[in-house]
Amino acid sequence: MKKGLAYRMMIYLSKRMIACDEASYLISLREDRRLGFIRWAQLNMHLLTCRLCRKYASQIRQLSHSLDMYRHQCNQENCMHHLSPEAGSRILEELTRELNAK
């Protein structure tokens, strides 16, 4: 019996099923770059069957989202952190000393 492309693809991928260590690596990798078809398919096959890795994928997406918020906060012009007056004076003193030495 002649096997269809989808069937042959399923056999090919099932022979190459990946474990959680590789799946979590691919979850991280896809945050930064596009996965090739084989890797994409391997990851999705794994995710269909692994609840922990689905949770992991969801958490990694949330981590990226939290970092977006964090980046926004720490790059704000109205900054949250201020140099203490003592540190400011100390740095200014040091800078002035260096300037005078030149």
Partner 1 sequence: MSDHDEYTLDPQHWVERYGDYLFNYAAGRVSDRERAEDLVQETFLAALKGRDRYRGDSTERTWLTSILKRKIIDSYRKKYSSRESAFGETEGVAFDGDYYRGEDPLGGHWQEGKGPHSDSLLPEGKLEEEELSGFILDCIEHLKPNLAAVFIMKMIDEEDSAYICKELGITPSNLWVMLHRARLRMRDCLEKKWLT
Which segment (8-16, 34-42, 54-62) binds partner 1 by CB under 8 A?
54-62
CA atoms within 13 A on the CB side of 88: 5
Is residue 71 part of the contact set for partner 1 (CB under 8 A)? yes
Is residue 69 part of the contact set for partner 1 (CB under 8 A)? yes
Torsion of CA 83, 88, 91, 93, to 10 degrees: 180
Which segment (3-11, 34-42, 77-85) binds partner 1 by CB under 8 A?
77-85
| Residue 38 one-letter amino acid | I
Which conformational region is residue 52 in: left (phi greater than 0), alpha (psi within -120 to 50 degrees), or beta?
alpha
Residues that bind partner 1 (CB under 8 A): 18-22, 24-25, 28-29, 31-32, 52, 54-56, 58-60, 62-64, 66-67, 69-71, 73-77, 79-84, 87-88, 90-92, 94-96, 98-99, 102
